[in-house]
């Protein structure tokens, strides 16, 4: 429920109410929603009580999330004033049609909202709510985390993105499959394997061991652990068990199976565990993770790997090995990119890529004892009993939803004898130095902006809980600045040819400001504030000082992001509710039109 309301507030630019009750007019339905405001966040992580319809008796029940989704969808599809306001926020261009939305960066091409997508949104909200209830119940009955700290962090994102209307929707995943495939339920499964004839195998590898190149097929054969009936010369390609059902009946796959160029080998090996992305799987102690194709619609996309993304992962690994990583880590030894140095895929009888059979092989740099968490999981409220050490009583509230971040800060405050707010401020400052500054350095020195949102960003904390480093992971999320093409090509000749990674500086600036600035850092500030760990205004001031020093201090960096965040009265922000209402898939089409962006007030601007 709160997710939907946060999205609507951000995407329609609603101001904070003066009386503690947010009123959302619903003219298309002839009513309004009245929402108690428990906390109003300068960065958008508001906390709300259950909403009620206006003009109903006080004893009437509150409105559930599915009903709210239906009411809001009706507002955006009927040409109501709120629909026109929503469209106007989406672009500075004039709006001439009801419920129209414009492309990013001021482009004037508009499209009408899709009524089918509106119905789809309501269904996905219902699916997300149903699954979340299951996740919460399971975590309250079985609260213990995995002993592998990395896996525990990957399974911690129980409630999902706080500004997505349906963060846990997974349409197509059956009740039988969900316990096996869901990280929130600590699922696991053996991989399914197919043998790929050399004539249709597509592959590349920059993986090396002791200086020797290791082919991708050799890596997957190792990861299978057990001997398989693999024909001579064939490669073993792993599949997510759900994906097998999806691809088996695709015409390209069926033709290859009929021709004997693909052979079903069945399930083999030990269990693998889904991570926070659901499709990337992990096994404790294995040298690699596997980023599998998965045709489920998760948040805004079907999660099937694209061939250009496979090229991109290997390309970035080679680029970093050209000397860039050594230079980077001379300044920031605690930060790196989790590499994606090898892949396998299948070409059809027509020579084109077969969808759904693309597999990325990812380095696993983590030991089970490494305390590394994706930021989204670290700040996500965990809906199961936790003893509250801040009260000194050690009691457990069965309805508590404390994040791991809250627990870490409470322990630090107890250990140091300092106020919680002071510890939180220091933790935040260390995070800026250990995680944010290295990302800015890469943009400044190499012209590479990372799509460093909270799920793609990993923070490494020491034994006390302080940030000491981090990692970025995602072979999709690189923006090579067009203005730096010559420099990057000099580092790695031919870069971008197959990976389609060069993006105009205008679009890069917009996306970098959203992913690192709004989603990551301002989202972290919102988590501190909404969980009563620190005053958001103080953290915003600290972030401003950090950005000013990066932009103009003695160690200033030539990245445009600090000035954009400091000087712009408004920022462009991804609108997940609108993106869903337009039925957009973020992995399809040009990067500058894959998502809907709206203009929001910049909380950093003074």
Model confidence pLDDT, tens digit, residues 519-529: 999 999 999 99
Lowest mean pLDDT among 30-34, 106-110, 194-198: 106-110
Lowest mean pLDDT across 169-178, 448-457, 557-566: 169-178
The whole-number pLDDT of residue 553 equals 77
Tokens of 58: 């006080």
User: Quick one: average pLDDT of 88-113?
Assistant: 35
Residue 123: pLDDT over 50: yes
Label residue 59 by pLDDT band (50, 70, 90). confident
Q: What is the model's pLDDT at position 555?
A: 84
Tens digit of each residue's pLDDT (9 = 90 or more) over 373-432 = 999 999 999 886 544 444 333 334 434 678 999 999 999 999 999 999 999 999 999 999
User: What pLDDT band is residue 590 in, cutting at 50, 70 and 90?
Assistant: low
Q: What is the pLDDT of residues 170-203, one digit of tens each?
A: 988 999 999 999 999 999 999 999 999 999 999 9
Could you tell me which residue, 57 or 387, shows the higher pLDDT?
57
What pLDDT score was predicted for residue 137?
A: 92
- Report whether pLDDT(85) > 50: no
Distance CA(183)–CA(179), nearest Å, equals 8
Distance between CA 109 and CA 97 in Å, rounded?
A: 12
- For range 200-222, the mean pLDDT: 96
Q: Under 8 Å CB-to-CB from 284, ≥6 apart: which residues?
A: 148, 151, 273, 368
- Amino acid 581: pLDDT: 85
- Lowest mean pLDDT segment, chosen from 376-390, 455-469, 548-562: 376-390
| Cβ burial, residue 255 (10 Å; 0-12/13-18/19+) | middle
Among 53-57, 333-337, 512-516, 537-541, name the one with the lowest average pLDDT.
53-57
Q: What is the pLDDT of residue 530?
A: 97
Residue 112 has pLDDT above 50, yes or no: no
Residue 91 has pLDDT above 50, yes or no: no
**What is the predicted pLDDT for the residue at 588?**
56
Window from 62-71, 140-149, 351-360, 583-592 with minimum mean pLDDT: 583-592
Give the containing element (helix H, strand E) for 171: strand 170-171
The residues, ordered by sequence, that sit 6+ positions from 262 with a Cβ below 8 Å of its Cβ are: 194, 195, 196, 197, 200, 253, 256, 346
Average pLDDT value for the chain: 89
Distant-in-sequence, close-in-space partners of 115: CB < 8 Å, separation ≥ 6: 77
**Percent of the chain predicted with pLDDT > 70:** 88
- Report the C-alpha gap between 256 and 281 in whole angstroms: 26
**402 in Cβ contact with 516 (< 8 Å):** no
Residue bearing the bigger pLDDT, 400 or 235: 235
- pLDDT (0 to 100) of residue 143: 85
What is the model's pLDDT at position 114? 55
- Which of the pair, 108 or 166, is modelled with greater confidence? 166
Pairing of strands 201-205, 342-346: antiparallel
Segment 223-228 mean pLDDT = 87
Cα gap 560→517, rounded to integer Å: 12
Whole-Å CA distances, 8 to 102, 300, 467: 18, 17, 33
pLDDT band at 99 (very low <50, low <70, confident <90, very high): very low
Per-residue pLDDT at 444 exceeds 80? yes
Tokens, residue 36:
């108690």
DSSP 8-state code for residue 183: G
362 three-state secondary structure: strand
CA distance 244 to 237: 12
Give the DSSP H/E element, type plus range, for residue 21: strand 21-26
Task: Compute the distance between CA of residue 537 and CA of residue 539 in angstroms, rounded to an integer.
Answer: 5
* pLDDT for res 583: 72
pLDDT at 454: 97
The pLDDT assigned to 249 comes to 85
């Amino acid at each position: 429920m709160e997710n939907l309301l946060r999205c609507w507030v951000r995407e329609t630019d609603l101001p904070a109410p003066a009386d503690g009750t947010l009123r959302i007019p619903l003219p298309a339905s002839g009513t309004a929603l009245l929402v108690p405001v428990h906390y109003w966040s300068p960065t958008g992580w508001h906390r709300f009580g259950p909403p009620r319809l206006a003009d109903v008796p006080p004893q009437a029940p509150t409105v559930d999330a599915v009903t709210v989704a239906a009411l809001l969808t009706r507002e955006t599809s009927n040409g109501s004033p709120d629909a026109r306001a929503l469209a106007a926020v989406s672009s500075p261009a004039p709006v001439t049609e009801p419920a129209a939305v414009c492309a990013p960066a001021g482009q004037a091409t508009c499209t009408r909202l899709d009524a089918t997508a509106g119905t789809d949104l309501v269904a996905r909200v219902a699916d997300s709510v149903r699954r979340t209830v299951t996740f919460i119940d399971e975590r309250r009955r079985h609260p213990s985390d995995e002993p592998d700290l990395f896996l525990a962090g990957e399974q911690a994102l129980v409630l999902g993105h706080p500004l997505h209307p349906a963060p846990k929707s997974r349409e197509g995943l059956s009740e039988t499959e969900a316990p096996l495939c869901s990280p929130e339920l600590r699922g696991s499964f053996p991989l399914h394997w197919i043998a790929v004839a050399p004539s249709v195998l597509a592959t590349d590898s920059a993986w090396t061991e002791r200086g020797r190149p290791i082919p991708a097929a050799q890596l997957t054969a190792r990861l299978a652990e057990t001997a398989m009936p693999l024909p001579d010369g064939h490669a073993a390609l792993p599949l997510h068990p759900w994906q097998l059902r999806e691809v088996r009946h695709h015409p390209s796959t069926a033709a290859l199976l009929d021709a004997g160029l693909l052979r079903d080998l069945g399930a083999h090996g030990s269990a693998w565990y889904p991570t926070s992305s659901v499709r990337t799987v992990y096994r404790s102690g294995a040298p690699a993770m596997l980023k599998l194709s998965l045709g489920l619609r998760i948040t805004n996309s079907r999660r099937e790997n694209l061939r250009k993304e496979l090229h991109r992962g290997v390309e970035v690994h080679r680029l970093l090995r050209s000397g860039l990583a050594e230079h980077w880590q001379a300044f920031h030894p605690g930060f790196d990119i989790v590499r994606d140095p090898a892949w396998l895929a299948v070409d059809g009888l027509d020579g084109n890529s077969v969808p759904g059979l693309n597999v990325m092989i990812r380095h696993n740099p983590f030991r089970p004892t490494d305390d590394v968490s994706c930021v989204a999981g670290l700040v996500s409220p965990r809906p199961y009993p936790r003893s509250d050490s801040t009260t000194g009583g050690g009691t457990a509230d069965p309805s508590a939803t404390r994040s791991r971040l809250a627990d870490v800060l409470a322990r630090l405050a107890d250990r140091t004898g300092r106020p919680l707010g002071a510890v939180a401020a220091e933790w935040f400052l260390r995070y800026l130095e250990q995680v944010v500054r290295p990302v800015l350095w890469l943009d400044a020195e190499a012209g590479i902006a990372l799509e460093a949102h909270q799920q793609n960003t990993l923070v490494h904390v020491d034994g006390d809980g302080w940030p000491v480093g981090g990692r970025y992971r995602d072979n999709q999320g690189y923006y090579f600045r067009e203005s730096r093409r010559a420099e990057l090509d000099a580092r790695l000749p031919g870069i971008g040819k197959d990976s389609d990674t060069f993006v105009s500086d205008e679009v890069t600036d917009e996306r970098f400001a959203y992913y690192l600035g709004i989603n990551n850092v301002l989202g972290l500030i919102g988590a501190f504030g909404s969980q009563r760990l620190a005053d958001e205004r103080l953290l915003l001031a600290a972030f401003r000082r950090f950005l000013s020093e990066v932009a103009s201090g003695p160690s200033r960096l030539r990245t445009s992001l600090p000035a954009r965040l400091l000087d712009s009265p408004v920022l462009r922000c991804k609108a997940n509710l609108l993106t869903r209402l337009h039925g957009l898939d973020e992995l399809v089409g040009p990067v500058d039109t894959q998502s809907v962006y709206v203009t929001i007030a910049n909380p950093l601007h003074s």
